[in-house]
Structure 1
Amino acid sequence: MVTLCKPAVAVPEYVITREETLDLARSRHADHPQLPLALRLIENTGVAQRHLVQPIEATLEHPGFQERNERYEIEAKARVPSVVQEALRNAELRPADIDMIVYVSCTGFMMPSLTAWLINTMGFPGNTRQLPIAQLGCAAGGAAVNRAHDFCLAYPDANVLIVSCEFCSLCYQPTDLDVGSLLCNGLFGDAVASAVVRGRGGTGIALERNTSYLVPDTEDWIAYSVRSTGFHFLLDKRVPTTMEPLAPALREIAGTHGWDADDLDFYLIHAGGPRILDDLSHFLEVPPDAFRFSRATLTEYGNIASAVVLDAARRFFDEGGLSEGARGIMAGFGPGITAEMCLGRWTRPPAPSLESDLNARRIIGHPPAARPAAVPAT
């Protein structure tokens, strides 16, 4: 049984509130003809605060793409390891137990990927598979879970580490003044998240089915324009309407599995904004509270891109999960427009019987059983 264990999530120490964001917009764009609209959109995001890797004064500067990307690498190497260590503890595993690392990020670029640095510095085996995903944006969190699921189905004794590192504030572009860009300046935040998918054992969400769906002819609705100054985020005003065509995709994966999408026990959904959650509630015919974990992420952290679904899952775990076998869905949405979706059930390993506990006590002091051989290269 392939199981997603409890994620670990960390946000940076610098905080900007919604009120501070609105004041900055008023002071920096006082003459903008659509400032009232931008302010209203920011107020309606539901974001109370966001976390940044730098003080706001440094965030608002633009020293150039090279320095921005260097800052991304510095911050990733400083912040990722502790989150990875927590995720491993949550899964009751060591670095030596990991067979593949899936690293997702759309806010900076490294080659080789941070996966190589993690393997060299944190004790992961030299034959650990590396799967960096850079161009799925916010959908990459769901894609990471799905690719880990696929790998563990192929290699049932394998374990996969997922790492999401998103420093959206390093993509701030002071010259982008369209309403969509001004809205994004008040929506996105920074975070690092990590989780382990175990091929066997573990407490968490037992993954059962996954799929992807691409909304036709929307590939330019969410995009990057890559220029000498870095990544310029392009957000079409039609993006909030995409839940109408995506809701049927969620219904289809549930229906194929014999479930009803409007009758599940938990929903861990990418919180791109409040309208996305409101529309999905409407089209799936589920109460707004069904998305309470995603709404909490949006309120406290903002849109943290690929880390959203992992943070929503972490909040689900913190609430205590549900009864054995409770059914749910995870979904991330991003450029394409792409949806990455999976179904799973809440599960806990069975409690040891008195006999097995006595047997375990008898063998205390014996060397541990050998771990299964490493996953063969393909």
Structure 2
Amino acid sequence: MATLCRPAIAVPEHIITREQTLDLARELHADHPQLDLALRLIANTGVQTRRLVQPIEDTLRHPGLTARNALYEAEAKARVPEAAYRALAFADLTPRDIDMIIYVSCTGFMMPSMTAWLINTMGFRPQTRQLPIAQLGCAAGGAAINRAHDFCTAYPQANVLILCCEFCSLCYQPTDLAVGNLLSNGLFGDAIAAAVVRGEGGRGVQLDHNGSHLVPDTEEWISYAVRDTGFHFMLDKRVPGTMADLAPALREMAELRDWDVSGLDFYIVHAGGPRILDDLCTHLKLPPEKFRYSRATLTERGNIASAVIFDALERFFDDGGTAHAAQGIIAGFGPGITAEITLGTWSTPGEPNRPPTRQASQARHLTTTSAQAAPA
């Protein structure tokens, strides 16, 4: 079975704090009629720091789409290879062992894809398959894992390298003054993530099952308006409430494997904002601690789009993972409104790859439920 190995995360060197963001909003939008609301929303994101690919004074300038996209390409070429090499090392592989590269980004555009440049530059074989994913936004990290899983299911000895490159700050639009855009200016950060899915071997999350779910008639809730000045992020105020629709999809996915989504051992989910995580706790009847890795990502790096779930997964690895064959879920949420969902078990080399029995899983859930119900 395919295994998602330890990710490598790279963040730019320029840091902006929540206090600096709030001060900038007060300075730049002093006359905005809804400034107090925007400030309150930014403060409530829980984001303490974000990383930017440029200093803030350059980020706030808009030199035009041509210059911005050229900067995206230059920075991607400068930063992606190092993360890719680290992810390959975590998986004990070299570029020549990779059979497909999945490159994910919704914050810049290249054609040929970045995958072609990587193959020519890093020593991948010319036969390496290329799969760019550009229009799934924050859900694309989950989609990349799922497409890698599909490929390794079809070709069991294959290996896939996933790369996410998100420079959200290059989408800043100084003329967009809607409250949703002011909120996004204080929410999104920049990051690169890389991870390998091995068809055989490896330590990490052994992928068991995957699927997608789209909430009907919500395609305009998260979107880009493509204009002369580039990508303009559009965010509907109804987005934070979408977990009421997506939480049941997570439950249904788990039930396909006779798993109880409220009794799993680990949860790696997209942290689009604090309400997403809070609502998942409510709908799935889980304590906040279950989403500690996603919350840490949101606090320290903001919403880094498709890279969020890999950053949260790296924190899970740093924490030592969990018991062999323990069950978990990975989920990315994004435009559509779409959820990309993966079920997997923690795999440690040298241990027998036997999933827990249904009885053991039920017993673990009873223990978890009892602990939650116990008095403080």
- 1:32 deviates by 0.3
The residue type equivalent to 1:102 in the other structure is: I
Partner of 1:253: 253
Partner of 1:274: 274
Q: 1:329-344 residue pairs with structure 2 within 5 A? A: 329-344=329-344
Runs (5+) with no aligned partner, structure 2: 353-376
Q: 1:118-267 residue pairs with structure 2 within 5 A? A: 118-267=118-267
- 1:348 deviates by 1.1
Supply the distance in 2 between the matched residues of 1:257 and 1:18 (Cα, whole angstroms). 42
Q: Does 1:305 align with 2:305?
A: yes
Supply the distance in 2 between the matched residues of 1:139 and 1:146 (Cα, whole angstroms). 11
- CA displacement 1:173-230 (0-9 Å, x = unmatched): 0000000000000000000000000000000000000000000000000000000000
Q: Does 1:345 align with 2:345?
A: yes
Partner of 2:81: 81
CA RMSD of aligned residues (A): 0.8
2:329–2:342 Cα contact (<8 Å) kept: yes
Partner of 2:324: 324
Partner of 2:24: 24
Runs (5+) with no aligned partner, structure 1: 353-378
- CA displacement 1:48-94 (0-9 Å, x = unmatched): 00000000000000000000000000000000000000000000000
Supply the distance in 2 between the matched residues of 1:175 and 1:86 (Cα, whole angstroms). 39
Secondary structure of the structure 2 residue equivalent to 1:58: helix
2:324–2:351 Cα contact (<8 Å) kept: no
Supply the distance in 2 between the matched residues of 1:92 and 1:318 (Cα, whole angstroms). 18
**Identity fraction in percent:** 72
Partner of 1:369: none
Supply the distance in 1 between the matched residues of 2:280 and 2:348 (Cα, whole angstroms). 29
TM superposition score normalised by structure 2: 0.93
Supply the distance in 2 between the matched residues of 1:169 and 1:265 (Cα, whole angstroms). 35
Supply the distance in 2 between the matched residues of 1:203 and 1:28 (Cα, whole angstroms). 48
Supply the distance in 2 between the matched residues of 1:136 and 1:330 (Cα, whole angstroms). 16
- CA displacement 1:107-144 (0-9 Å, x = unmatched): 00000000000000000000000000000000000000
In structure 2, relative to structure 1, the CA distance for the partners of 1:351 and 1:268 (3 Å cut) is closer
Partner of 1:66: 66
The residue type equivalent to 2:74 in the other structure is: I
Secondary structure of the structure 1 residue equivalent to 2:33: coil
TM superposition score normalised by structure 1: 0.93
Partner of 1:42: 42
- 1:351 deviates by 7.0
Supply the distance in 2 between the matched residues of 1:183 and 1:300 (Cα, whole angstroms). 17
The residue type equivalent to 1:175 in the other structure is: T
Supply the distance in 2 between the matched residues of 1:292 and 1:320 (Cα, whole angstroms). 14
